[in-house]
Amino acid sequence: MSDETLQFTLGDWQWNAALTGFINIIGEENVTIVNDTVKFEEDVLEGFEEKYFEYLIRTYKKTLSWSRIVTFKDKIFAYEENDFDNFDLLSLKGLNTYIKDVKYFIESASYKAAYSLMDSEVDILSIKKELEKIKEPKTQVEFDKGKSDIVNTVKQVIGILRQVIDYCDCPSGRRYIRAKNVIYSVIKNAWNGVCFLNPQTKEKDVYTDYKTEFVDAAVNYIKSDKGKYRFQCFTCDGPMKNMNNSMGFLNGTGFDVNKKSSHVWNFENDVALCPVCKLIYSCLPAGMTYVGAQGLYVNANIDLHDALKINNKIKTEILQSGESHSAYYALVRALHENETKATKYQFVDVQVIRYENAKYRFNILSRRMLKLIVEHEKRLNSLIKSSFIENKLTFRVFDEVIDRIFNSQNLFTLIHKMLHYKLSNPLKCYFNGTHVRHLLTINQDIYQSLGGMDMDKEYYYIVKNAKNAGESLRVKYFVKNANNKLPGICYRLLNALKTSNSGNGRCT
Ligand SMILES: [Zn+2]
């Protein structure tokens, strides 16, 4: 390779997310960043396909089904260490769930595709046939009675499981099963339909397929004589030979020009990428942070260092905790960390991009609302575990609150809904009065920030006074009425409140 220097500048959010992904993959130490521009030598593209998968596997390791299979060996080791002394009915149930999961994973299509690439003699699918769940006694007492027989069966099953684990954990298993895992659990959220995500792809080895489709194409392009190229890249304005690379492979963006050219002016596609930009766009999954099928990216578009810092902070929050907290929670934590440091972000408003239900959603988090999130840190944190169930779906109160703050909406309808459920269906409400009071306090602030109220600091006392008034009402009401009619009167109060408040705040 020649030692050509390449240079790219921040642009729209998707390009920015892809560019930060690209830098994450090759390592910040291998690039030069000045403000919104990154420079790097073309030799960072050597073995890029390896770096690409390595980064995604390392980042999402804990969330991969491969890890679910392999990490169980620690448990097996613990059981064996004290000869199954602590193994009880609950352990057996856990083992059976694990067996069910293992069977499901190892016969899924993506695993089967990985086996054909592995250099192992083991016939994993025939091993799978021997794997059966173990009969569970109904009670611990029954379990204890038959424990020695049960443990013998468990030991046999563990023998089979060990073969499965060793197979998945062998070098080629780590390479191909984990690559398949990240393709379907991470990459597919960002792009689809080409390369290893094209069902008709001829190349079975996903590393080779990526290399040919993206890396080789980019390297050949860099080397080529571009003197006679008459087209221009949509992203970097670089010269291009043809318009063959569309943005159609990116989810929720562009379109498949081969299917529908009628979208474009005069039936000609004028949105095409040069092979280097296409390679960088393929790094979008390494720039966004995913929790399951939900993605998040904070578009700090003035300084690339900021963009890397805040998004990697979010990634660490989400992926190192190992808990499936909401992406919002991680975002708020990252924002807090940033705000409390001496050097604050210079940007006035933060654009937050979320990927949900296969669509991108955009919010602007204003400086005002950002300040509010920081000031109410403790109150917001107390909401993390509270939730309620509506139409069989669980709603996290924290997410609901942040969502409204992002949209510059007050919390009136949310609070009303929560009180309503608390009265009508308390068993499906996982929150208490303190949580509601926190919401009311935060709401006062939101309301004021939105220009709804012009008050001094005493407004905090309104919430407190309201709570005290409510408590004395309850005491008096209980004294007068032996029957518990509290929910009834609360309903009426709530309805009265809603009617008189209908002019305030936007309904959601
Ligand atoms: Zn380009």
Q: How far is CA 2 from each of CA 50, 52, 144, 467, rounded to the nearest angstrom?
A: 21, 22, 71, 72
482 has pLDDT over 50: no
Same structural domain, 418 and 498: yes
Amino acid at 46: E
Same structural domain, 309 and 400: no
Same structural domain, 246 and 199: yes
What CA–CA distance (Å, rounded) separates 196 from 149? 47
Residue-wise pLDDT tens digits, 4-37: 899 999 999 999 999 999 999 999 999 999 999 9
What CA–CA distance (Å, rounded) separates 82 from 77? 9
pLDDT of residue 381: 85
Same structural domain, 280 and 296: no
Helices (H), 186-266: 206-210, 217-223
Q: Which residue has the tokens 């790097």?
A: 40
| CA 305 to ligand 1 center in whole angstroms | 22
Identify which has the larger pLDDT, 496 or 25: 25
Within-domain flag for 376: no
Same structural domain, 91 and 156: yes
| CA 119 to ligand 1 center in whole angstroms | 38
What CA–CA distance (Å, rounded) separates 309 from 313? 6
Same structural domain, 415 and 500: yes
| CA 237 to ligand 1 center in whole angstroms | 6
Residue-wise pLDDT tens digits, 112-166: 999 999 988 899 999 999 999 999 999 999 999 999 999 999 999 999 999 999 9
Burial (0-12, 13-18, 19+ Cβ within 10 Å), 366: middle
| CA 413 to ligand 1 center in whole angstroms | 47
Identify which has the larger pLDDT, 506 or 200: 200
pLDDT of residue 117: 95
Same structural domain, 397 and 506: yes
Counting residues of the chain whose pLDDT is more than 90, the rounded percentage is 55
pLDDT of residue 407: 81
Helices (H), 108-212: 109-115, 124-130, 140-145, 147-169, 171-185, 206-210
186 has pLDDT over 50: yes
pLDDT of residue 328: 72
Percent of the chain as helix, strand, coil, to the nearest 5:
60, 10, 30
- Over residues 92-113, the mean pLDDT reads 96
Q: Which residue has the tokens 């905790």?
A: 321
| CA 236 to ligand 1 center in whole angstroms | 4
Identify which has the larger pLDDT, 4 or 478: 4
Within-domain flag for 372: no
| CA 270 to ligand 1 center in whole angstroms | 13
504 has pLDDT over 50: no
| CA 189 to ligand 1 center in whole angstroms | 23
Same structural domain, 281 and 311: no
Q: Which residue range forms the structural domain that includes residue 359?
A: 291-365
Within-domain flag for 421: yes
Mean pLDDT for the chain?
A: 85
| CA 223 to ligand 1 center in whole angstroms | 14
pLDDT of residue 247: 87
| CA 238 to ligand 1 center in whole angstroms | 5
CA gyration radius, the chain: 28
Domain boundary among 264, 285, 306: 285
191: left (phi over 0), alpha (psi -120 to 50) or beta: beta
| CA 217 to ligand 1 center in whole angstroms | 12
Residues with Cβ within 8 Å of 215's Cβ and at least 6 positions away in sequence, in order, are 45, 48, 49, 279
Within-domain flag for 51: no
505: left (phi over 0), alpha (psi -120 to 50) or beta: left
| CA 201 to ligand 1 center in whole angstroms | 25
| CA 410 to ligand 1 center in whole angstroms | 43
Same structural domain, 433 and 319: no
Residue-wise pLDDT tens digits, 409-426: 889 999 999 998 988 888
Confirm if 48 and 26 have CB atoms less than 8 A apart.
Answer: yes
Domain boundary among 230, 256, 285: 285
User: Dihedral of CA 336/351/443/424: which sign?
Assistant: negative
pLDDT of residue 156: 96
Residues with Cβ within 8 Å of 475's Cβ and at least 6 positions away in sequence, in order, are none
pLDDT of residue 24: 97
Identify which has the larger pLDDT, 342 or 72: 72
pLDDT of residue 207: 98
Range of lowest pLDDT (33-37, 258-262, 360-364, 401-405): 258-262
| CA 159 to ligand 1 center in whole angstroms | 54
Within-domain flag for 54: no
508 has pLDDT over 50: no
State the Cα angle at 316 between 312 and 318, rounded to 5°.
115
pLDDT of residue 232: 92
Same structural domain, 87 and 235: no
The number of distinct structural domains making up the chain is 4
323 has pLDDT over 60: no
Same structural domain, 322 and 357: yes
Within-domain flag for 377: no
pTM score, two decimals? 0.80
> Distance of alpha carbon 452 from its chain centroid, rounded?
34
pLDDT of residue 35: 92
Confirm if 360 and 250 have CB atoms less than 8 A apart.
Answer: no
| CA 37 to ligand 1 center in whole angstroms | 14
Domain boundary among 259, 285, 311: 285
Same structural domain, 98 and 205: no
pLDDT of residue 261: 46
Within-domain flag for 104: yes
Identify which has the larger pLDDT, 505 or 84: 84
What CA–CA distance (Å, rounded) separates 338 from 305? 13
In the chain, the N- to C-terminal Cα span, in Å, equals 57
- Over residues 456-469, the mean pLDDT reads 63
| CA 335 to ligand 1 center in whole angstroms | 32
Smallest CA-to-CA distance from 249 within 12, 52, 14, 11 is with 14
